[in-house]
Amino acid sequence: MIEIINLCKSFNGHQVLKNLNLTIKKGQTQVIIGRSGCGKSVLLKHIVGLLKPDLGQVIIDNQDITQVSDKELNQLRLRMGLLFQGAALFDSLSVGENVGFILREHTQVDEVTINKKVKESLELVGLKGIEELMPSELSGGMKKRVGLARAICARPDIILYGEPTTGVDPIMADGINTLIRQLHDKLQVTSIAVTHDMVSAYKISDQISMLYDGRIVESGTPEKIKNSQDPIVRQFISGAAHGPITE
């Protein structure tokens, strides 16, 4: 489904991605782990086409999206759902308007069909009948689920998650992880999540890849990553600092 080849990206002379390579199979949930600021979100933005690489390719369904026109890229984005870190709902729109936003703005789908898809998407995330509520009336966990309903409303082939469990308590985080797994199984989508939450990574993933110093340093099943002997991977998954913290 997705092949990333020798991806390079620099900002102000600082190289964030260094000949990064990654293959994501159709129907898999791929989790990318790594420390804050390591380039996980930069990688995600390249997959969506929000950033252009300095070098390298991002191939989705045999199409290099770094070479396509804006019109072709917009068509491709309709096949993607994106759950932002903070849900990123429009405060001035109702829940129903938020969930159906992409269909209303970017397709010719009629209003009856949109309302049906909005209703189905909210039911899939366990939020039946809240179309008329405003974002300000929702808890943090509900906002995440509405964001997820919006991501799946156009029935995408690919869903991308940016830190899906950030900002919610551990019980709510577990609920979101369970929901991500259930949606993957029901919709048979290819999913990519970036996170530094290892509990989430182990629960939702088929494959985990560790991003460090601009490259993927190890990839494998959750079990393989749990038992990795690579010192960089071991340090990250155990949450150990390099040495004693000094004042």
In this prediction, residue 77 carries a pLDDT of 87
CA–CA distance, 99 with 121 (Å, rounded to integer): 8
Element at 7 (helix H, strand E) = strand 2-11
Domains (range + CATH), the chain: 2-79+156-238 (3.40.50.300), 90-155 (no CATH)
Could you tell me if 170 and 183 are in contact, meaning their C-beta atoms sit under 8 angstroms apart? no
How many Cα atoms occupy the beta-carbon half-sphere of 202 within 13 Å?
10
Q: Cα torsion at 196, 79, 184, 177 (round to 10°)?
A: 30
CA–CA distance, 67 with 57 (Å, rounded to integer): 9
Element at 157 (helix H, strand E) = none
CA–CA distance, 228 with 240 (Å, rounded to integer): 15
CA–CA distance, 151 with 172 (Å, rounded to integer): 19
User: What 3-state class would DSSP assign to 184?
Assistant: helix
In this prediction, residue 245 carries a pLDDT of 38
In this prediction, residue 181 carries a pLDDT of 92
Could you tell me if 84 and 147 are in contact, meaning their C-beta atoms sit under 8 angstroms apart? yes
In 125-223, the DSSP E strands lie at 158-162, 190-195, 207-212, 215-220
CA–CA distance, 100 with 164 (Å, rounded to integer): 20
Low-confidence ranges of the chain (pLDDT < 50): 243-247
pLDDT in tens, 108-163: 899 999 999 999 999 999 999 999 999 999 988 889 889 999 999 989 999 999 88
**Nearest alpha carbon to residue 160 among 246, 56, 41:** 41
User: Chain centroid to CA 51: how far?
Assistant: 15
In this prediction, residue 1 carries a pLDDT of 85
